[in-house]
Structure 1
Amino acid sequence: MQPTTRLAQALRRSVRAFRFWLAVAGSFVFAALPVSAAESLTIAAGAGYKRPVAELAVAFERRSGIRIEPFFGHMGQVLAQARQSDRIAVVLGDQAFLENAGQPAFARYLPAGRGRLVLAWPTGRTLAKAEELAGPSFARIALPDERQAVYGKAASQFLERSGLEKKLEGRLIMVANVPQVSAYLVSGEVDAGFVNLTDALGVRERIGGFLEIDPALYDEVRIVAGVVAGREKLPGVEALADFLATPEAEAILARHGL
């Protein structure tokens, strides 16, 4: 056998041995990791809840070691994604909306707070009460699409029950969701807009102000984490249920207007 052939064979044996011990070492490293480090929980939520979900996710991972992977959009998108992806275990939104959605079905609802409708205005304006919207200076008033956002429905109910609906004909601008209303308020493209308290708190430094609407003038908005039927056993679901009942989670939700 030529020396070069023996050298090549020795090199191949060394490479095989190196790969073997590398694999063994890798398996020990993987085994040493906590199981929860490899787990994640996918939650879908309305776009208006990015801030509270983000803070909840940090606190939940710190407590449980389970990472939350969020998906946001208007509720039509959220439900469509929950139907298509078997990874989404929980949907955060209005309980009545989720119950009437048909699909996906939900096994149970974890309480997350009460949604509150507010009327906000851009910098440079002010409102003492909602009835002032009838004045001529409020020509462009934004609200979310009531077919996709519960706060659009709540705003429509308020306008009807308060008697303002007819007075504001031709001035109402319907947009896709709550964050879009907030964006128009921040940029000054509208004179006023209806959002939820959660979003108003998030942009309060960049708008003129807001006032809370009398909750008697719109249907109650119960915000829940709906557990998708058939996905109750996915990693993290039970841990999330326990976490939402803690004072820490309740304080986070309250801080965000829920």
Structure 2
Amino acid sequence: MTASSRWLLKATLLTAFSLGAVAVQAQELTVSAAASLTNAFQAVGQAFEKAHPGTRLTFNFAASGPLLAQIQQGAPVDVFASADQETMDRAAKARLLAEGTRADFARNTLVLIVPASASHVPQQLADLNGAAYKRIATGTPSSVPVGRYTMASVQDAGLASALESKWIYGESVRQVLNYVARAEVDAGFVYRTDALIEKDKTRIALTVPTATPVSYPIAQVAASRNAALGKDFIAFVRSAAGQQILEGFGFSKP
């Protein structure tokens, strides 16, 4: 093989390797999603990867507020799914979302839960003002959507002042669920889908009405490095197959 032939072969191999690296990179997708979506989105992700061979999804689950802060700080995120409209509105206002990609994909319900071993089960929100409920958990209202839903409902029930000294705040709805499951608090506000995960350790006392629906929006992040795959994932979440998986975890259609 001549020197020029060897050079040509080397150049061809380098080009092939470079194209291969780009192809691999093009099949990776990072999704930041609300903590309450953890189990459901893991199942959705497995189905999506199966339907798109060679694709690898990486999930980042946390409260919606901190996830938005990460995106604002430049975290490499392709798709964002929030547990409330307010957080997604803030993302849109900051121009962090790809235009025309935002869509609602699921709904949930706010519930009040108690430890399975609890001797007292509230029949209405007003019961939380009783001596049996000294520690009540919900998410931090400034950063965790379930906390904002909770505070609005408590305010509407006229219990804001009465319960003010009883709150124990969690960094996510899953932390609130854990507090109740471990009987570290007397009651807690979570989503119905979360309560179903720990149905052996917690009991749903009542469904809590909310002034606005507990709805979940999803959108492609404007800075995404893989816009096409991000749109495919959003479409899959909203498809019949994706909705069936979500419904299996207790979510309802938007």
Q: Which interval holds the TM-score relative to the shorter structure?
A: 0.7 to 0.9
Does structure 1 retain, via aligned residues, the 8 Å contact 2:125–2:157? no
Of the three residues 94, 110, 115, the one matched with 1:103 is: 94
Aligned length: 232
1:208-237 deviations in Å (ceiling 9; x for gaps): 33432123xx32232011211243853411
1:78-117 deviations in Å (ceiling 9; x for gaps): 1122234463111110222211244352223132212321
| Partner residue, 2:115 | 122
Q: Which amino acid aligns with 1:150?
A: P
Q: How far off is 1:247 after superposition?
A: 1.4
Residue 232 to residue 96, structure 1, CA distance change in 2 (3 Å): farther
SS in 2 for 1:91: strand
Structure 1 residue 212 and structure 2 residue 218: aligned?
no
Structure 1 residue 79 and structure 2 residue 68: aligned?
yes
Task: Write out the 4+ residue segments of structure 1 that deviate beyond 4 Å after TM superposition.
Answer: 35-38
| Partner residue, 2:37 | 49
Does structure 2 retain, via aligned residues, the 8 Å contact 1:42–1:69? yes
Does structure 2 retain, via aligned residues, the 8 Å contact 1:141–1:171? yes
| Partner residue, 2:106 | 113
Residue 104 to residue 68, structure 1, CA distance change in 2 (3 Å): farther
Q: How does 1:200-239 map to 2 (within 5 A)?
A: 200-215=195-210, 218-231=211-224, 234-239=227-232
| Partner residue, 1:193 | 188
Structure 1 residue 248 and structure 2 residue 241: aligned?
yes
TM-score (norm 1): 0.79
Q: How does 1:2-81 map to 2 (within 5 A)?
A: 39-65=27-53, 66-81=55-70
Residue 212 to residue 232, structure 1, CA distance change in 2 (3 Å): farther
Paired with 2:141 and 2:152, the residues of 1 have a C-alpha distance of 10
Calculate the aligned-residue CA RMSD, in Å.
Answer: 2.8
Structure 2, unaligned runs of 5 or more: 1-5
Structure with larger Rg: 1
Structure 1 residue 142 and structure 2 residue 137: aligned?
yes
Residue 250 to residue 210, structure 1, CA distance change in 2 (3 Å): farther
| Partner residue, 1:8 | none
